[in-house]
Amino acid sequence: MIKRMTMKNNFTRIRSCLILLTTGLALSACTEPDKATTESTKSEVQVASQKKATTSTAETKNDQTANDGIDGPLAFTLNDLAGNEVNAEDYRGKWLVLNYWATWCAPCRDEIPELVKFQNENTHVQILGIAYEDAEVNKLKNFADDFGVNYPLLTIDVYNPPGFAEEGGMGLPTTIVYNPQGMRHKKHMGPIDAAGLLQMIQ
């Protein structure tokens, strides 16, 4: 009887050791990925920081006066589909609407008739469409003709967008309104109609 109890106790101890060993291995397996993830995250942050620094340098070289309209009046110089330079300062004294869109974006296409309607009815406001895609100018021109776009369409380098436009590319379509002084007023993500855009300005 005593021998049986001793064997039972030994078995219990062995089983407990195995459980502890298995638990330890499991914890070790969970810890290692966390460590790898942390190291990967640190590397990604470093790469992102280096990329941001490089981008900022490039933007400074391209446009010394670029501004997003938050810390100061909106400032940029971009080209329209005819190759003409368009400056944000040209629209001081008017409400300015920057609409970020792309030809492949279905909601963007759906809202264009509303933007055209709004532009026709509100001459004190200027819409500027910023094509957030890598597309040939002729393709954009044909698109504008097909949809009867009645406001300027501007192009940017989507692989190295100017700082003020980065936020617009986070989701398409995105519409940002600036007051007559060039300061950012309101932002809307997703398609918008003429009535909704008018409410943003009021």
Domain locations in the chain as residue ranges: 1-62, 77-201
Residues 157-184 have pLDDT tens digits of 999 999 999 888 889 999 999 999 999 9
- Quick one: tokens of 35? 């460590």
With a cut of 60, say whether residue 8 has pLDDT above it: no
HSE, side-chain direction, 13 A CA sphere, residue 30:
6
- The mean of the pLDDT values for the chain is 77
What's the DSSP call for residue 167?
A: G
- Secondary structure (3-state) at 66: coil
pTM of full prediction above 0.95 = no
Name the H helices within 63-193. Answer: 106-121, 137-147, 163-166
- Secondary structure (3-state) at 75: strand
CATH number of 77-201: 3.40.30.10
Starting at the edge strand found earlier in the chain, the sheet holding 95-101 runs 85-87, 77-80, 153-155, 125-131, 95-101, 174-178, 184-189
